[in-house]
Structure 1
């Protein structure tokens, strides 16, 4: 029997069943304040095969919590047109089908809509039971794909996001939707090339784009057996700054050292500067390199708007990924960032999993370790009350290699070293995936 590719083996292997289970067993005590859904999206190839981990169809895994009980688990594929009809990104005439894609990267809520996201297609709306409603194009106004990491402004309720393309300019378009979900702005950015732009940053006054040297490669795209991107150091690297109150103004660009960033932790305004906190790779997908995914570490960039330069500082030397904050502090000087230590990519060996809680003001780092063979996914923050940046819990799916099963683990951020406050035992394994959120019931 042939050996499965690394991204289809172990806990990267897809699950084959959609389940609905009720009355889940819990070790410990679930906080009674938590009533809502914890949802997380990730690639789960419907045909049990895909050319790359990033390419499998999206599957959302959800756990329902109510008043100290874990009442249900559901997992559902996101039924995009690619899933249901075999639709492709481009037809034989080169026309783009924005409904075609995987919707496998994130799941967010805005203006009452739960949206499954992947940056190469339109978002897909889901019901409360995780069934697929269909593509969401903001009443026909959205004419690009939507990136997987939109930002909701905690002050205005606006949703900021972008779409990027590969074959023809504009390769980047910045979008904004109001708190009611109406698309109010679509601004092309003409000076950006065909690069892979996964994330961006938002502050109270600015939008920040990262134009980095992972570029579209038409030959790889035509081959179809890997991601259509490669490292090109000659492209350069820069940060683009746009004032929110002048969304059609010129973008200011600041050169930085070549690198790649999948994920921004946060950004905020600091007088005449912007502070940007990211998980940074020194390079990515270099041709003929066995090191596809070098270690990524937490960095801070300070953009001096008056001097026109960027100061770059590495904050820690631990290999980490999937940074998250209390999302009610997006664009503000959030004190804490949460990341994971895990086998974040199929080319890495399994390592003892941990959650890290960085104090961005003092530099202290608190850690919660899971023990040998227990590997966490991204941890979302669930607040205990209305005080942003206050008490709360981290929620993460944890894979147990010895049992080949998964749990939802809840950790109190005020005592990271303590045992989890609760561990919810799931009826099936949750494969490694990408991003999700704690979505409390509306009050």
Structure 2
């Protein structure tokens, strides 16, 4: 069953606050579905793919430290002239080594950014998104907030959750400022880059003119949203409106839909009736409707014999019938050995494989900004890790021919992560005109260095973690 809703058109200044803690409840059976430098790491903790304690966050999944912007990167091939802007990818990257279980989804949000410019120039930086949760833990010098997937299991999980609420009750931590990690989605909307997770408001992250990143703060759309929103909102290319959902596992309505127009005005909430609370991770839009699946998923092989994940279409045609989808080839699971261009009309599949012991993640399709061009006119890009040579790269492939046109060698390791986006130079120029970026202390300041010192290149750092 699918719920189809017409888009609301009536703006509203009335916003009902609601409390949302989806991740802890989800994994306990509700619904279906200080100085940082003083930290001592006393034991190695293990992580399994299912999130149960027992296996280390090791290898290519182990976290990295912040890296201030590095210019003059080596480029093999030619960066296309029309591809000027910043590629950004989000992911989980725990600032502190977990004391108990850990799962990739539990990590603190870190954004990796590669700025591409004229003259085959490229720069790289990576920064934590300074969530309220991370700032509080950084001040305490240790992990305090529970990790919902890695730690909250069974009776011990309930005990950890009770301990957290006790700490909140005596003022050791402030849950009211948000508990999300902002590690999943990225969207550029209304002159702002927003980093998101399922269980909190988004965080506004500014892209500096030199390609570095700076967290501005938790963003509630000028007081119009007080709850949470999912990590995969949709921007309608025809209207510029942002469409999103918000779910609540404690009280009805368990799910609400809303949109925000291109001027930043929020519509009224549309409640969606559900028989029980559940996590709604994603949805779809058409020209006139939002489509939400509210029953259990069906299994139907679109491309038999191939495991495809994390798909994208041409975002200039989002909500319309499209011919092509670009999807990660999730083989050998859980790694991605390449990506596939799937013709949704003919069923033809064209593969681009990264090569021996080379793996990536979600492919990001960047459409051509020219006028009337074919749907597949554009480029597919994403981070690739050469595990044999221990080297990370940004790969750029021409989508129409599925041929590599450029490769940017990165100065440090980029762990496997989640979702990404591309912000064009034109959008960046509008960001600079519409906002004033207030200088804020970065996490590297907590470690006693200034990441924005003029021209200084610093090694990547992280408390307790080797790079």
Q: TM-score, normalised by structure 2?
A: 0.69
Task: Say which of 136, 148, 154 aligns to 2:219.
Answer: 136
Relative to structure 1, is the Cα distance of residues 61 and 151 closer, same or farther in structure 2, using a 3 angstrom cutoff? Answer: same
**1:108 corresponding residue in structure 2:** 187
Distance 1:162 1:57 in 2: 22
Q: CA deviation at 1:96?
A: 6.5
**1:415 corresponding residue in structure 2:** 401
Q: Is the 8 A contact 1:33 1:67 kept in 2?
A: no
Deviations 1:292-312 (A, max 9, x none): xxxxxxx5xxxxxxxxxxxxx
SS in 2 for 1:195: coil
Deviations 1:258-309 (A, max 9, x none): 45xxxxxxxxxxxxxxxxxxxxxx5xxxxxxxxxxxxxxxx5xxxxxxxxxx
Counterpart check, 1:195 vs 2:278:
yes
Structure with the bigger RCO (C-alpha within 8 Å, sep 6+) is 2
Counterpart check, 1:360 vs 2:333:
no
Relative to structure 1, is the Cα distance of residues 145 and 338 closer, same or farther in structure 2, using a 3 angstrom cutoff? Answer: same
Q: CA deviation at 1:67?
A: 1.6
**2:24 corresponding residue in structure 1:** none
Relative to structure 1, is the Cα distance of residues 115 and 33 closer, same or farther in structure 2, using a 3 angstrom cutoff? Answer: same
Structure 2: state its 5+ residue gaps. Answer: 1-42, 50-56, 138-143, 147-163, 428-467
Structure 1: state its 5+ residue gaps. Answer: 213-236, 238-257, 260-281, 283-298, 300-312
Counterpart check, 1:25 vs 2:11:
no
Q: Is the 8 A contact 1:64 1:72 kept in 2?
A: yes
Residue-pair matches, total: 342
Distance 1:404 1:183 in 2: 46
Bigger proportion of residues as helix: 2
Q: Is the 8 A contact 2:316 2:367 kept in 1?
A: no
Counterpart check, 1:165 vs 2:207:
no
SS in 2 for 1:442: helix
Q: Is the 8 A contact 1:98 1:145 kept in 2?
A: no
Distance 1:151 1:350 in 2: 27
Distance 1:98 1:153 in 2: 30
Counterpart check, 1:177 vs 2:161:
no
**2:408 corresponding residue in structure 1:** 424
Task: Say which of 122, 125, 128 aligns to 1:77.
Answer: 128
Q: CA deviation at 1:76?
A: 0.3
Q: TM-score, normalised by structure 1?
A: 0.72
- Higher mean alpha-carbon deviation, 103-112 vs 178-187, is at 178-187
Provide the aligned C-alpha RMSD in A.
2.4
**1:41 corresponding residue in structure 2:** 90
